[in-house]
């Protein structure tokens, strides 16, 4: 009788603290009547789970000094590179999602020591400027996506070279340490 009371008590205690599934309940009774319980951890949502990335309209544009946004016009006058465009980001969760870092790979790697990523822009706001090769983790100004945002954020990535005929992998690293990778083969 005492063994049944202990097991029922353990199950009621588990239910009262919100444990909905007990992966393994292993009871061993001896003279001292002890019970062992193993509870599996649940899956927890991460910020990367809430990040939706649409690349249906992604492309590479080599403007030859015909800029698409006024925020880069001074830069564009002395620039002969390419823009990866048509990447739209949205938060589908219930809490804010913050992109902390971005890693961008491109292939093929011909002359990769000369090809550099030079700017990352969300909508019309420059989040990072510099000069980094493929595969470098870029610590950008935090970009927060709110569930209440009506429109997705547009991502523009500027390079110092012609990036036509390249494939890209973008890794978004969130402030909670989770990440989401997206492969892009522009049309």
What lies within 8 Å, CB to CB, of 43 at 6+ separation is none
Residue 162 banded pLDDT, cuts 50, 70, 90: confident
| pLDDT mean across residues, the chain | 78
pLDDT at 7 over 50: no
Residues 99-112 have pLDDT tens digits of 999 999 998 866 65
What are the structural domain ranges in the chain? Answer: 2-38, 47-184
47-184 CATH choice from 2.40.30, 1.10.3470, 2.60.40, 3.30.460 = 2.60.40
**CA angle, 115 then 116 then 118, to 5°:** 150
Q: What is the pTM of this model?
A: 0.69
Cα–Cα distance list, 69 to 88, 126, 134 (Å):
16, 11, 25
Residue 5 banded pLDDT, cuts 50, 70, 90: very low
Going 58 to 62 to 66 to 70, the CA torsion angle's sign is positive
pLDDT at 10 over 90: no
């Amino acid at each position: 009788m005492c063994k049944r009371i202990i097991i029922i008590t353990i199950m009621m205690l588990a239910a009262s603290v919100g444990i909905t599934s007990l992966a393994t309940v292993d009871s061993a009774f001896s003279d001292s009547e002890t019970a062992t319980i193993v509870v599996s951890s649940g899956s927890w949502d991460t910020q990367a789970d809430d990040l939706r990335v649409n690349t249906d309209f992604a492309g590479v544009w080599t403007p030859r000094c015909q800029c698409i946004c006024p925020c880069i016009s001074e830069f564009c006058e002395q620039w002969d590179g390419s823009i990866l465009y048509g990447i739209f980001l949205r938060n589908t969760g219930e809490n804010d999602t913050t992109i902390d870092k971005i890693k961008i790979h491109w292939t093929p790697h011909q002359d990769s020591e000369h090809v550099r990523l030079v700017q990352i822009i969300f909508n019309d706001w420059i989040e990072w400027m510099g000069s980094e090769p493929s595969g470098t983790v870029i610590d950008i100004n935090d970009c927060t996506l709110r569930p209440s945002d009506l429109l997705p954020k547009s991502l523009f990535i500027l390079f110092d070279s012609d990036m036509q005929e390249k494939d890209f992998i973008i890794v978004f690293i969130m402030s909670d340490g989770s990440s989401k990778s997206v492969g892009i083969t522009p049309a």
